[in-house]
Structure 1
């Protein structure tokens, strides 16, 4: 089980490295890593387990965040209604954004990261809509269109696979600078 102590923090060189593509079929180690990352997200969205294990809530966790430099990330975007299926739940392996909107999007509250232990204010400007191609754990190629929050989450996790942290996208001179066409997502 992954806990907060297993998640590396900014300053660790793995977070700034270009991760290696994952080979198929998945090794036992990669299968276990994928399951453990998804389990962390599931546990981190359960208030009782958060309290019991001292977890920080998360909707995404990339392999580099647990010091494994591979192109793999778990994503679990819950629905607003607890009884509904998640909006998006999968382990994305060797993900590539194959198209995106011109229109930018950003979260009104900004972004956070399990590997960053400080609040950093500002709009993290990303694409509002993306088409994502990736492989799942079974090695099946998937293609999905995402918009708004799920698109932002996947872009955040894909950045981790390329050594980019969310605050790299914030305008240092004016953190809340925004074009008129920016879609602000609550």
Structure 2
């Protein structure tokens, strides 16, 4: 399992590099990477285990964040309802946003990142709705529509695969200014 010591921190060149496409079938190394990234998210979202292992809770973890410059990210958006079923859970490989809404969405609390240790205040405007195409660990291609929080999480992780960090999107002069009609998501 990955621990906080395995998470690459802001300033490491791998976080600013464009990640390489992943080939299929996945190598044993890539299968293990996918499993370990998802395991980190699962454990980090359990308050007791999170504390036991000294983790920071996360909803997404991209391969560059553990020092591997490949187009792979684990995403685990917890259930919005009480049914317990995650809103979105998968390892997205070679992801591409094929369409996006004109309307933006932003988290009222701003965004954070396991690789960025400091708090960077400000709104991070992202497309509120996206259509995402990706491959899973079996090489199956999926095309799904996401909106609000799951769409924001996936865009954050895809940014990691392109060498972009969340604070690159914050308006430097007015961090709490967002485009008109931005949907604020809490």
In structure 1, what is the Cα distance between the partners aligned to 2:80 and 2:144?
A: 20
Tell me which residue corresponds to 1:114: 114
Tell me which residue corresponds to 1:163: 163
In structure 2, what is the Cα distance between the partners aligned to 1:53 and 1:146?
A: 31
CA-based RMSD = 0.8
Q: What aligned pairs does 1:98-113 form with structure 2 within 5 A after superposition?
A: 98-113=98-113
In structure 2, what is the Cα distance between the partners aligned to 1:44 and 1:118?
A: 19
Tell me which residue corresponds to 1:57: 57
Tell me which residue corresponds to 2:178: 178
What is the DSSP-based 3-state SS (H/G/I as helix, E as strand, rest coil) of the residue aligned with 1:85?
coil
Cα drift, residue 80 of structure 1: 2.9
What is the number of residues matched between the two proteins?
A: 186
TM-score under structure 2 normalisation?
Answer: 0.98
Cα drift, residue 180 of structure 1: 2.6
In structure 2, what is the Cα distance between the partners aligned to 1:49 and 1:4?
A: 13
Cα drift, residue 84 of structure 1: 1.9
Tell me which residue corresponds to 2:22: 22
Which consecutive aligned stretches of 4+ in structure 1 deviate over 4 angstroms post-superposition? none
Superposed CA offset, 1:10-49 (max 9, x none):
0000000000000000000000000000000000000111
